[in-house]
Chain A
Amino acid sequence: MKHSRVWQAVLACVILASLVLSSCAAPATPTPAPATKAPVATTAPVATAAPTAANPASITIAYSGYATSNDYWNGLGKAAAAEAAAKGVKFVDLTTETQDASAQKQAIDTVITQKPSAIIIGSVDPNVFKDTIAKAKAAGIPILAADTAIDDPYISALVQTDNLATAQALGDYICKLLNGAKGTALVMAGTVGHQTGDARQKGVADKLAACGENVIKQYGDWDENKSVQISTDTMTANPDLNVIFAPFDPGAAAVASLVKQKGMTSKIMVFGIDGLPVMFKAIKAGDSVATMKQDNVRIGTETVDDAIAILNGQPVKTPDLIPGILIDKTNVGKYLP
């Protein structure tokens, strides 16, 4: 009996510790990528040991994205594969089904032994590649970063969304829609400390505060249900709530559905970032106002183009910051299947 109580206490402590850790854990489905720690060079670090004017048929590009189960990354990987096919180079996709930093690193370490011409990494965790990069450097294989910066001088190019500028552009758009009206805005981030979510929150929050909104900041943990929970409570606590921003489209679409259920669509405007079909449908139905589409197709395409350019000894622009595309009811039809 006494032992069982001790075990009970130990098990309780383990679970509590797990809960605390899980609240700090990686996002359930983080769509995109840290915007910080990007290399500051504006042009060209041409890859070391790059062959000159390589024959496309002799080029093999290995690519490892965040996860194939993620719509955004799935689109980015497909665009990269399509561009490689169009340019006549071989493309090896190493992306795992779900985000797994350790599996990603192992896959890249393995592919280095097969000596591809270049490697493109859309990293799950950009901090785990120190020895991987050293191995690639020793083998003379250039590495490019797609969407997420990897803080290492050997990285030959970075192509990514400018999250802060994209969010600021959305903030300006919201201020224009508010047209001087004042109220409270709920501006959510992702998980605590996630740079992408933080940049998106900051971009929108700063602009809304500048145009007179009372801004409430919360963390939705990249989770639709938590975003909805926070929104319901904030709506009750702040009767003048007129804007809700979620930093990912599934969350924004879920919140838009809630706002519709409460009959508040005419009073509360809902916005997201990502550019996913779920949000396009919400915008078309009038439940949500707008989203910023990350140009994942362009990121995938340009990263492959940069890899080929580097292998041919040509300079490339880095970091190559791709702006987001505003999608509202005026242009959503173009993006719906």
Chain B
Amino acid sequence: MTTLATRFKKVQLAPQVRDILPPLVGLVLITAVIGILAPTFRQWAAIANVFENASILFIMATGMTVALIANCLDLSVGSTYALVSVVTGQLLINQVPVPLAVLGGLVAGILCGVVNGLIVTQTGIPALIATLGTQLAFRGVANMIGAAVDMSRFPPEFDILGSGTWGPVINCIIAFGVVWFFLNKTKLGFHAFAIGGNEEVARLAGIPVNRNKIIYYAICGLMAGLAGIVYTARVDMAAVNRGQGMELWAIAGVVVGGTSLVGGVGSVVKTIIGVLIISVLQAGMIHLHVPSFWQQVATGALIIVAVWLDFLQRKTRA
């Protein structure tokens, strides 16, 4: 009995569990309420749809998690997503083998991230402004490559990356694994928390802040690129004007999960929960036959409440 109580106490005190508990409870509650009210939501197909529909946002949000933990805000991920989509689409319609086309897309995503990192670290321009500028620039490059070009109906071996439930979910697992390993098992990942917590102290401690920041932006670009590829495969077409506003949803997913907007705190596990909360709510509204206007109101309200609760929790702890 004592052992059990001690174990329970240990679980209660584990900071990792305590950290994810509020958004997790929120996710469970929202899912339960929708499940009770909408019988059609209580089936595997509905749950599979939630994972399927959350996948693209989640992949993008994993990269954003790394960026936000290191206090490297990136507003260009929506444009990177579109750019990678048209780069991959162009390669595919020009008969480039699928693995090379995917690789080309991912390299384009990494390059976008590196450009962001170089601008922020070498010029000292605030990340908000720098990535707002590259948001426009990357969109312009995407237009140059893919405007008014029909890029659709790609080979089945490419479509499988975004088809059905398993294609997107496997890509999510890969994105999660890469980012989790990076943040928890590498020195670079550890440094992200240090840089995000206090950049000057990290610099004085001998951490190569500028070099690391470029790498964090590159990871953010890579994940935006992977999201762009999964999207392209899912809808079986590439178009230049896609991904507008997605950076805000990616940030929302990360923040709703509990990762700090100002760096130093966060985890990719929290991001899973944050993105799922948004996705469950959106799917639930359809199952409940709630009119579209109320869906927007409910999603907006949820984000506000989630961020507010997180804010209160941090205030209490401080």
Contact = CB atoms under 8 A, between A and B. Distances in A.
Interface stretch (B143-151, B205-213, B217-225): B143-151
A29 interface: yes
A257 B38 contact: no
A5 B314 contact: yes
Contacts, number: 147
A5 B311 contact: yes
Interface stretch (A102-110, A119-127, A277-285, A318-326): A277-285
B31 interface: no
Nearest to A30: B241
Interface stretch (B22-30, B44-52, B106-114, B181-189): B44-52
Contacts of B235: 224-225, 228, 250, 253-254, 257-258
A12 B283 CA distance: 24
Interface stretch (A37-45, A68-76, A129-137, A159-167): A68-76
Contact of B49 (A236, A276, A285): A236
A57 interface: no
A36 interface: no
Nearest to A25: B245
A97 interface: yes
A55 interface: no
Contacts of B311: 5, 8-9, 12
B296 interface: yes
Interface residues of B, number: 56
B236 A28 contact: no
B237 A253 contact: yes
A192 interface: yes
B303 interface: yes
A219 B303 contact: no
A249 B282 CA distance: 24
Contacts of A23: 296, 300
Nearest to B235: A254
Nearest to A284: B153
B231 A70 contact: no
B242 A28 contact: yes
A232 interface: yes
Interface string A210-235: 00000011110001110011101110
A15 B252 contact: yes
B164 interface: yes
A55 B160 CA distance: 59
B241 A16 contact: no
A15 B249 CA distance: 9
Interface of B: 38, 40-41, 43, 45-46, 49, 52-53, 56, 139-140, 143, 147-148, 150, 152-153, 159, 163-164, 231, 234-237, 239-242, 244-245, 248-249, 251-252, 255, 260-262, 282-283, 286-287, 289, 292-293, 296, 300, 303-304, 307, 311, 314-315, 318
24 contacts: A5-B315, A12-B307, A12-B311, A15-B251, A15-B255, A16-B303, A19-B249, A22-B244, A22-B248, A97-B143, A97-B147, A98-B139, A218-B286, A228-B235, A233-B282, A233-B286, A236-B43, A237-B289, A253-B236, A254-B234, A262-B164, A277-B152, A278-B152, A278-B237
